[in-house]
A and B are shown apart, each in its own frame.
Chain A
Amino acid sequence: MKNAKSIAVGAALIAGAFTVSAANAATTLESVMDKGHLQCGVTSGLPGFSQPDDKGNWTGLDVDTCRAIAAAVFGDAKAVRFTPLTAKERFTALQSGEIDVLSRNTTWTLTRDASLGLNFAGVNYYDGQGFLVSKSLGVNDATELDGATVCIQAGTTTELNLADYFRAKGMEFKPLVFDTSEQTVQGFAAGRCDVLTSDRSQLAALRSKLNNPDSAKILPNTISKEPLGPVVRQGDDQWFNIVKWVLAAQINAEELGITMANVDDMKKSDNPNVQRLLGTTGDMGAKLGLPADFGYAVVKQVGNYGEMYNRNVGPGTPLDLERGLNALWTEGGIMYAPPVR
């Protein structure tokens, strides 16, 4: 009888465990509201994109994307908790519901969009893959890299681009695959590999981590397109729309000249585009399931896209990256957001 009892208890426990999936049926927005914070997946430390300081405060472009979403949902950019993830862990963490949004310089590709059960909600940084080499090697172009040993991070599109590039050029290479970008830098610094490859923005960040950043240089070649952006789970269109339009609101805010400093004055603006974005007219927020002034909260607390860019990766920061492709479409770049109306 004792056996039968423990079996029954076990069965009840297991059945209980399975009902968790039923709880997931609630929308992401509802579960985020219930929790009282946004759970956001970021890197385990990449300057300019997501990096904790010695007090545990996260900063970076990807981090600010998360803060903007929190500002839109709660009116409070601080209502975010960050989950540091390696490239290998990131999709599983999102699929399993451990995080609500993945903002971890993740490249938008067809395979990821179509077969992982994920949706890319836009692009917050247009990047491309490049190479970092030691100056002492005397290499000036990627086509001179035949036979090189290449340090690379596991689970990234760069791993595939690298193989494609060398194959197309008829060159050989030896890939040395590490789990984190931190380890790839260590491997490169120790001379285990001749070349470190990654997205160009990351190369700038990783180069700044070397003991002597001047000993290494980034080759001029860009071998791939790497549109990076926030990712959400498939099957929850409302949440997908929220993430997509928070990013669009920031880009539109820059275009309309709304900044953290002048957003309060802009509330009085006669421009209907500004009024809709800041929620003084229309019900744009309600359509997304957000407060009417979500755009105001985002710009007030996090800023527009340009401010976010300049603060984290722009000229004057350790990464010192020109706007380039990431400038607004009106200024020669390709940052272009659909209109808020």
Chain B
Amino acid sequence: MKKIATDSRPAGPKPWYDPRIRSLVFQAITIAVVFWVGWVLIDNTLSNMQSRGISTGFGFLDESAGFGIIMHLIPYDATMSYGRTFFVGLLNTLLVSAMGVVAATILGFIIGVARLSSNWLVAKLALVYIEVIRNIPLLLQIFFWYFAVLRNLPSPRQSVTFGEWIFLNNRGLYLPQPLTQDGFGLVTGALLAAIAGIFVLRAWARKRQLATGQTFPVFAVSAGLLVGLPVLAYFLAGQPIEWVTPELKGFNFKGGFTLIPELAALWVALSLYTASFIAEIVRSGILSVSKGQTEAAKALGLPNTLTLRLVVIPQAMRVIIPPLTSQYLNLVKNSSLATAIGYPDLVSVFMGTTLNQTGQAVEVVAITMAVYLTISLLISLFMNFYNRAVAIKER
């Protein structure tokens, strides 16, 4: 059978008419061109830099940086290396991005829901907020918060004080800083125990509900556990926290924890700006759930809060997550506007001062771009996982 079939088949098409061969050839050519372009770019850059006497390589990362940075989450001083300045900048970028993502999400959800409120005033206020904030360039908003609001605070010697411990002036917000003493492990342990307890409680409550139909106030009890247990442990262990309070010494306050105005301005501006976009995304998500779903839930006798939590939001999330991911990516990338107000983020510290002192523009810019790409891809990856979890499961 087989033999006859092969023999009787007419000779195959000529190779250049064979679609499979043709597609392979074109793909090979495309790859070759891509590699050739990449190679020419790199080779051209290197030979041009060499002919102009510009030094290349990553050796500069080990050299001593010799400049100061106002805010660092890891220990840093001027004797440390340029490589260290990279991590200082990176952590500052990640800090403001993380703070921004959390605040923008919470605010965005509240405003998105408020926009759909049946209360006329609340809905219109949300509308005004969204239309005003999202239509003003972010850079202007950063300047507004930095120059117009924070700069009008008093000087350190005329600080606004809250109680005896908290000070607000144009150098920042000074808070007491907790220093943990012996016995603090008990508090940490209690917190971990509370978290474990909550998981057990949830599983038990779910089981009971499935078996008997009775619900259990999981949220209230969980919150009680989360706060109550560590507080109890704190007093049992003899209050093992010492508070370092800021004190006015010379020019400025020393000791305690400082929130610098640059960080505050950037955080507020990024959060408010991104929240206005997230609010619209949330609104579109909620509106995408058909009215029939809500009506069906009401027909079953579900109260409003449960309808929202169990019927509307799970279905809205499918629509919300993908554009929300884009907003998170935007926020992280927008944080590079920090350089305009002197917040020491990655672009300001590493692509600014370090680039300038070393002159290694190509290397520094390449590293910085790679970092933003990596952060963005990680956020995408994480959000895609989450999206898969909430996406509609077709059976």
| Chain A residues with a Cβ under 8 A of chain B | 3-4, 7, 10-11, 14, 18, 21, 87-88, 91-92, 95, 111-112, 115-117, 137, 145-149, 154-156, 159-160, 162-164, 166-167, 173-179, 183, 186-187, 190-192, 194, 233-235
Given A154-B348, A179-B340, A159–B353 Cβ distance below 8 Å? yes
| 21 A-B residue pairings within 8 Å (CB atoms) | A3-B26, A7-B30, A7-B33, A88-B355, A95-B52, A111-B357, A112-B359, A117-B49, A147-B249, A147-B250, A147-B251, A149-B70, A154-B353, A159-B353, A160-B66, A167-B78, A173-B68, A175-B70, A183-B342, A191-B155, A191-B170
Cα(A117)–Cα(B51), bound, Å: 9
Chain B neighbourhood of A115, CB < 8 A: 54-55, 358-359
Listed residue (B67, B78, B170, B348) with the most chain A CB atoms within 10 angstroms of its CB: B67
Are B54's CB and A177's CB within 8 A? no
Cα(A111)–Cα(B63), bound, Å: 12
Are B67's CB and A159's CB within 8 A? yes
Are A164's CB and B66's CB within 8 A? yes
Q: Which of A91, A148, A177 contacts B342 (CB 8 A)?
A: A177
B37 at the interface (CB under 8 A from A): yes
B230 at the interface (CB under 8 A from A): no
Chain B neighbourhood of A87, CB < 8 A: 356
Given A147-B252, A173-B68, A117–B26 Cβ distance below 8 Å? no
Q: How far is the CB of A15 from chain B (nearest CB, A)?
A: 8
Chain A neighbourhood of B352, CB < 8 A: 88, 154-155, 177, 179
- B138-167: CB near A (< 8 Å → 1, else 0) gives 000000000100010001000000000000
Are A160's CB and B357's CB within 8 A? yes
Are A233's CB and B52's CB within 8 A? yes
Q: Which residue of A lies closest to B155 (CB)?
A: A191
Q: Which of B49, B55, B356 contacts A154 (CB 8 A)?
A: B356
Cα(A296)–Cα(B44), bound, Å: 42
Chain B neighbourhood of A194, CB < 8 A: 251-252
Are A92's CB and B361's CB within 8 A? yes
Nearest first, the 8 closest Cβ-Cβ pairs linking A and B are A155-B356, A117-B54, A163-B78, A116-B359, A117-B52, A190-B151, A175-B68, A234-B53
Number of B residues with CB within 8 Å of any CB on chain A: 47
| Chain B residues with a Cβ under 8 A of chain A | 26, 29-30, 33, 37, 40, 44, 48-49, 51-55, 66-70, 77-79, 147, 151, 155, 170-171, 249-252, 254, 261-262, 339-340, 342, 344, 348, 352-353, 355-359, 361
Q: How far is the CB of B382 from chain A (nearest CB, A)?
A: 32
Q: How far is the CB of A117 from chain B (nearest CB, A)?
A: 4
Are A11's CB and B33's CB within 8 A? yes
Q: Which of A159, A174, A177 contacts B348 (CB 8 A)?
A: A177
Chain A neighbourhood of B52, CB < 8 A: 95, 117, 233-235
Q: How far is the CB of B31 from chain A (nearest CB, A)?
A: 11
Chain B neighbourhood of A179, CB < 8 A: 339-340, 352
Q: Which of A166, A173, A178, A192 contacts B170 (CB 8 A)?
A: A192
Chain A neighbourhood of B147, CB < 8 A: 186, 190
Q: How far is the CB of A190 from chain B (nearest CB, A)?
A: 4
Q: Which residue of B lies closest to A166 (CB)?
A: B68
Cα(A31)–Cα(B54), bound, Å: 21
Q: How far is the CB of B390 from chain A (nearest CB, A)?
A: 38
If A149-B251, A176-B262, A192-B171 are given as contacts, then 16 extra A-B residue pairs at C-beta distance below 8 Å, sorted by A number, are A3-B26, A4-B29, A18-B44, A88-B352, A88-B356, A91-B359, A111-B359, A117-B49, A154-B352, A155-B352, A162-B67, A190-B147, A190-B170, A192-B170, A192-B261, A194-B251
